[in-house]
Amino acid sequence: MSSNKRVNITIGYILNYCSIPDLVFNGSLVTNFTFLHLDSIDPNGNSGLSFFADVMFTYAIESVNNRTDILPDVHVNIARFTDCGPYNPLADLNYIGQSGGYASSKTSLDISEVYTDVIGILASEYSTTARGPGEILSQYKIPYCADSTSSLRFSNKDNYPYFWRTSIGIGTGKAIYLLLNAWKVRQAGLIFESNSDFSISYVNDVVDAFSHHDILIPSKIGIPSEYDELLVDYIYLDIVRTNARISGTEYVYILANLPLNNSGKFPHKLFRRNINNRTVLLEFDNGVIFFGSILPDPNSEESIAVANAINSAINPAISPSDLIGGNYAYDCAMMMLLGFDKLLKSLPFDAAENLGQRKLQNFMNFTLFKNLDYAGMTYNPLNLNEYGDAYMYVLNLIFIKNFLQHEVSQSIHIPSDSKSKWNNDNAE
């Protein structure tokens, strides 16, 4: 602990540490994490996503530890927890969140009952995995910030009062409607991943928005994560049969996630099938549209400064583009610490020691972090809405060139403050 900081608190991370080799675990606790693991990290796999989230969480925490204006009497320690068990060599590319039982029964209980010095959680989890920890930790009144857990179920504050996130939630369905309405589109087919909590919740948000504005959904198809050619044929024939298109023979593909190929990288082309079952290459400029949270500029002064600072502790060096998406993790950590700082400064007594002893948890639901007016790396100011989601705009990217060249026709910002349903149980 720094000599001028008299109180220790501990922040926990929940990440897919099962995808990073050479780690040692005591239950779900990681005991030997080091940034020297970089040479065994795949930037396009779960190991890369977890590693760089850890990097950004830690960069934010260390920056606060070296400041005197935020938590001046408090030193923040770090505890790392896996949500998917010990190392599994298949987890890097094959893990998609199918460890909810472990995360609920082991990770959540370790944090809540064993490592009782942990007063807050920073996490980057698949939505399917996070369902249990998000609810259990709320019951224990442990604040939980997610950088990329996107299922709209977490916008339900009755079930997740201590959960909040630095990405958008409720409102994407309305944003999609507004664009289609501007184009005078009156019908659209929906395809969603039937075993993904994220996908199910988003299709429900879209259905809710469309039903309130009389947009017809002639086809709604749920598909598993693993599928075969027969299912692809069925999907295409169903779309043709129901006439779920805009005009002529062309299709527009609207996505809540950027498309990935089987190597985890952004592809140059997408595939579709024609009526004769011949595979046809569909270029990005034929109509891929992405809706999601705002993406940072990797060439901005701030992004370059962060990458340079991190490179002082990491070898080999990384580039600012490696940290795309890490802005949400950085903002999670900063907002949690700023919330704790706000709480301590609002109390009429010296409560720093109480903070580290879990005696202030009653004050720490998502509303503590709601109106910080924080100048975020993602958005400025970055605040939370009534659902605990980032209060910012839905970013709409319409591709006219290969995404790898970062060329888009326009970025349309649509407010993400619309009301919608978060129940995931009516998609299928």
For residue 269, is it within any domain?
yes
CA atoms within 13 A on the CB side of 361: 22
148 and 268 assigned to the same domain = no
For residue 248, is it within any domain?
yes
321 and 352 assigned to the same domain = yes
Domain CATH code at residue 374 = 3.40.50.2300
Residues 385-396 as b or e (16 or more Cβ within 10 Å = b): bebbbbbbbbbb
The pTM of the full predicted model, rounded to 2 decimals, is 0.83
User: What's the pLDDT score for residue 423?
Assistant: 39
How far is the C-alpha of 261 from the C-alpha of 198, rounded, in Å? 19
| Partners of 187 in beta bridges | 216
305 and 360 assigned to the same domain = yes
361 and 277 assigned to the same domain = no
User: What's the pLDDT score for residue 275?
Assistant: 34
User: What's the pLDDT score for residue 399?
Assistant: 57
Sign (positive/negative) of CA torsion 365, 371, 374, 375?
positive
267 and 193 assigned to the same domain = yes
262 and 317 assigned to the same domain = no
Cβ atoms of residues 334 and 374 within 8 Å: yes
User: What's the pLDDT score for residue 90?
Assistant: 93
For residue 409, is it within any domain?
yes
Cβ atoms of residues 112 and 44 within 8 Å: no
Task: Give the domain range for residue 275.
Answer: 172-293+396-415
For residue 423, is it within any domain?
no
87 and 156 assigned to the same domain = yes
User: What's the pLDDT score for residue 123?
Assistant: 98
How far is the C-alpha of 254 from the C-alpha of 396, rounded, in Å? 10
How far is the C-alpha of 78 from the C-alpha of 56, rounded, in Å? 13
For residue 428, is it within any domain?
no
For residue 425, is it within any domain?
no
How far is the C-alpha of 101 from the C-alpha of 202, rounded, in Å? 23
> In the structure encoding, which two tokens stand for residue 397, read together?
């990217």
For residue 287, is it within any domain?
yes
Domains contained in the chain, number: 2
283 and 220 assigned to the same domain = yes
For residue 17, is it within any domain?
yes
User: What's the pLDDT score for residue 247?
Assistant: 52
User: What's the pLDDT score for residue 16?
Assistant: 97
21 and 151 assigned to the same domain = yes
Average pLDDT for runs of 10 along the chain of length 428: 77 98 96 80 86 93 96 97 96 87 94 98 95 96 95 93 93 85 88 85 90 92 82 81 64 64 37 37 54 75 79 70 83 98 95 96 98 90 94 71 39 45 38
Domain CATH code at residue 223 = 3.40.50
21 and 122 assigned to the same domain = yes
Cα–Cα nearest to 138, from 125, 152, 154: 154
Q: How many other CB atoms sit within 10 Å of the CB of residue 101? A: 10
66 and 135 assigned to the same domain = yes
45 and 140 assigned to the same domain = yes
